[in-house]
Structure 1
Amino acid sequence: MSGVRTGFVTQTHTGDVSWQEAMEEGSNLGFDFVELYMDGATERTKLDPEAVRSLAGTEGLDLLVHLPFVDVEIGSPRERIREASREEQKACIETAGEMAAEKAVLHASTHATPPEWTREDVEPHLLSAIRELDSFGEESGVEICVENLPGILFTVHDFDRIFAKTDAAMTFDTGHARVDGMNAEDMKSFLTDHGDRISHIHVNDARGPADEHVPTGSGTLDLETALSPVRNGWSGTVSVEVYSFDFDYLELSKRKLDDAL
């Protein structure tokens, strides 16, 4: 597992688990980092960057963040909405830098969809946003990692355009890739072919081609096959993404991930 660090995506946005509790439990479970979800109860204006940075240091954890996406429209065809959304993401990235986060997961997505808006209407705006935010992230000391999304721009099958038209890194989400038709062998091939552009991985397990986020190992994804390139010299970060407030399931997920790696 040389060169690979493991962590988890915090479920702090609902307020059921505080960011402090997430960090403390993450440290207790032996994770290398936490990926702090910057929305809802842990939206940027509700965070004290110095306090987050300090506790991460005390707990011996590295920090990543997941940028907000539900109500953010970086690819909107409407200029004012698009520009305001990009400025909000920049403010989040700036806050991430103040917290000493090293990576930020980005959904390059939009709710502007057919029949009102075509792919040709929105894709150039999304690619432009990726380039702009990637450049801003570099200035802030935060690596932007664009995540493949399930069934919408940008799916795993669209990333050839991101790789060709931007310099941004990728977050590879196993559950999202499965929704879009990939099996474990396909994931293995994708990670092998694009490992130089993939900086971060979300292990999102499911019982079928769905975006379920069940505890790692309780789904039907063949993790050992899918993640085999990670064991063969890849260097990056891997988060388990589990929709649960019970840290026992997170502990089990870490054991299953460690076994696969």
Structure 2
Amino acid sequence: MAVRRGFVTQVGMGYEEAFARADEYGLDFVELMMDGAHERTRLDPEAVRESATDHDLDLLVHLPFALDIASPFEHVREGALRELLAAIETAVDCGAEKGVVHASTSAWSAAWDPQELRPNLFETVRELDEFARSHDFAVCVENVPGDFLPAGSFPDLFEATEARMTLDTGHARMNGLGSGEMADLLTTHGDRVSHIHLNDTRKPADEHLPFGSGTIDFERVLEPLSEGWAGTLSLEAFTTEWSYIETSVDHLDALLA
């Protein structure tokens, strides 16, 4: 499996230390969360690029959270799109090659049916993907928990757009997919899954445990990618304790050996 490995930064992690730790742990990239302290207007792209280069690391980004790209309200949706396009420009200036965006909406669920809003999502994703490709950047749409567009419905997105997917394993489990069903998704659509968030859990909850601490059968999940897949794997643990990241890297490397 010709994969590259990295981790997603968390609130409270500065990018300089994140690059230094990733280098120390022998990783290939850092996935920088572009929210909070690392929101686009707070970043110095030249400094970020230089820090990544100094540590011989690639850069991915997680684009801002909670921007409603499927809103039923035109101006809300347009504003979310504009902000994401600006974030992509900043990410490219930082040297990033791909970015994760959530397939979600904050529309009032009592009033709006997910099926009614999915076309809005697909249209926004098409615009993001077209813009990204023109900047040699990849948009990878992430499955999030809930009924709007769970992992099992991503073939609809594949049919409607050219965008790639970020498979979040914990989110998929929350929507009822077991390890075998995640493997089946990758068997059928591995060519469209460019990125995977290794979100480990003990139960159908968004636990984001250190990798290897949960009960997802990652050997089974990743088995379909054993040959010919050249995507990226991000450890995503909700921690600022670096020893847990290091332990996660050790468990991942043992699995990939």
Point out where structure 2 has 5 or more consecutive residues left out of the alignment.
none
Which runs of structure 2 are paired with 1:123-142 in the superposition (5 Å)?
123-142=118-137
Partner of 2:40: 44
Partner of 2:98: 103
Among 27, 34, 39, which residue is 2:30 paired with?
Answer: 34
Using the TM superposition, give the Cα deviation of residue 230 of structure 1 relative to its aligned residue in structure 2, in angstroms: 2.5
Partner of 2:241: 246
Partner of 2:198: 203
Q: Deviations over 1:15-40 (max 9, x none)?
A: x2211111111111111000000001
Q: Which amino acid aligns with 2:250?
A: R
- TM-score, L = length of structure 2: 0.97
Runs of 4+ in 1 over 6 A off after TM superposition: none
Q: Which amino acid aligns with 1:54?
A: E
- Aligned to 1:216, the other structure's residue is in SS state coil
Using the TM superposition, give the Cα deviation of residue 82 of structure 1 relative to its aligned residue in structure 2, in angstroms: 0.9
Matched residues in 1 for 2:153 and 2:176: separation?
A: 13
Contact 2:114 2:147 survives alignment (8 Å): no
Task: Count matched residues.
Answer: 256
Partner of 2:17: 21
Partner of 1:10: 9
Using the TM superposition, give the Cα deviation of residue 117 of structure 1 relative to its aligned residue in structure 2, in angstroms: 1.5
Using the TM superposition, give the Cα deviation of residue 133 of structure 1 relative to its aligned residue in structure 2, in angstroms: 0.3
Contact 1:227 1:260 survives alignment (8 Å): no
The alpha-carbon distance between structure 1 residues 94 and 152, as it changes in their structure 2 partners (threshold 3 A), is farther
Which runs of structure 2 are paired with 1:99-248 in the superposition (5 Å)?
99-248=94-243
In percent, how many aligned pairs have the same letter? 50
The two structures, once aligned, show a CA RMSD in angstroms of 1.1
- Aligned to 1:227, the other structure's residue is in SS state helix
Partner of 1:86: 81
- TM-score, L = length of structure 1: 0.95
Matched residues in 1 for 2:5 and 2:83: separation?
A: 28
